[in-house]
């Protein structure tokens, strides 16, 4: 069975460019810790479950 590798580059593009995650979390009360670096780390760690 082939190994699956999550498309991290595509996921990051969709979240930042298409969905505007940085602006979304900047306007969300209580989400001050959701920096681009933190979001990137969460995506990378989530990819390890695949």
Residue 30 lies in a domain: yes
Residues 50, 48: Cα–Cα separation, whole Å: 5
pLDDT at position 9 over 80:
yes
pTM: 0.77
Mean pLDDT for the stretch of residues 7-11: 96
The number of domains in the chain is 1
What mean pLDDT do residues 41-47 have?
94
Sequence-separated (6 or more) residues with CB below 8 Å from residue 6: 46, 47, 50
Whether 38 is in a domain gets the answer yes
pLDDT at 34 over 80: yes
Is 26 contained in some domain? yes
pLDDT band at 8 (very low <50, low <70, confident <90, very high): very high
Residue 18 falls inside a structural domain: yes
In a domain, 2, yes or no: no
């Amino acid at each position: 069975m082939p190994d699956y590798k999550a498309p991290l580059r595509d996921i990051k593009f969709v979240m930042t460019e298409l969905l505007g995650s940085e602006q979304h979390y900047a306007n969300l009360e209580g989400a001050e810790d959701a920096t681009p670096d933190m979001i990137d780390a969460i995506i990378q760690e989530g990819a390890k479950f695949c």
